[in-house]
């Protein structure tokens, strides 16, 4: 996968977003995560609040997400699925479409945040399931 397949720009969902520069078929890798930035519990605790938004649970550890993956916004009707350090197309994604993921599997179990994804089936909140 090449870095030129997506771009980061302003999102209607939240701040910055990641957008497809080409069509993706279901099952294709859309974004490969940089999984080299794991944090200890102590490092995570020392992170400023505005940086914690870029941290997810990955294989039981804290992972500090790097661009472009850090800018993938949540959607209750996500077009990718987080799987083994990749965002994999869950359905057809068209060029210029925003890449979205379901955050529930990557935020800590019991953690809850407001959702503003705008999807027809939006639940209004995101509640984590990761351990």
Q: What is the DSSP string of 49-96?
A: HHHHTTEEEETTEEEE--TTGGGPEE-TT-SEEEETTEEEESS-B-TT
pLDDT for the residue numbered 3:
62
pLDDT for the residue numbered 129:
81
- Residue-range domain boundaries for the chain: 3-102
All residue ranges of the chain with pLDDT < 70 are: 1-3, 131
Buried b (16+ CB within 10 A) or exposed e, 28-46: bebbebebeeeeeeeebee
CATH level 3 topology of 3-102: Beta-clip-like (2.170.270)
pLDDT for the residue numbered 106:
77
User: Measured between alpha carbons, how far apart are the two ends of the chain, in Å?
Assistant: 29
């Amino acid at each position: 996968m090449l870095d030129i397949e997506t771009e980061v720009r302003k999102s209607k969902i939240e701040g910055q977003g990641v957008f497809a520069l080409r069509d993706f078929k279901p099952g294709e890798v859309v974004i490969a995560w940089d999984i080299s930035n794991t944090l200890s519990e102590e490092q995570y605790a020392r992170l400023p609040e505005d940086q914690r938004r870029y941290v997810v649970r990955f294989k039981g550890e804290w992972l500090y997400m790097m661009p472009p993956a850090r800018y993938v916004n949540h959607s209750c009707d996500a077009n990718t699925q987080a799987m083994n350090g990749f965002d994999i197309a869950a359905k057809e994604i068209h060029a210029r479409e925003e890449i979205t993921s379901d955050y529930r599997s990557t935020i800590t179990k019991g953690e809850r945040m407001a959702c503003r994804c705008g999807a027809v089936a939006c639940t209004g909140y995101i509640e984590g399931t990761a351990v």
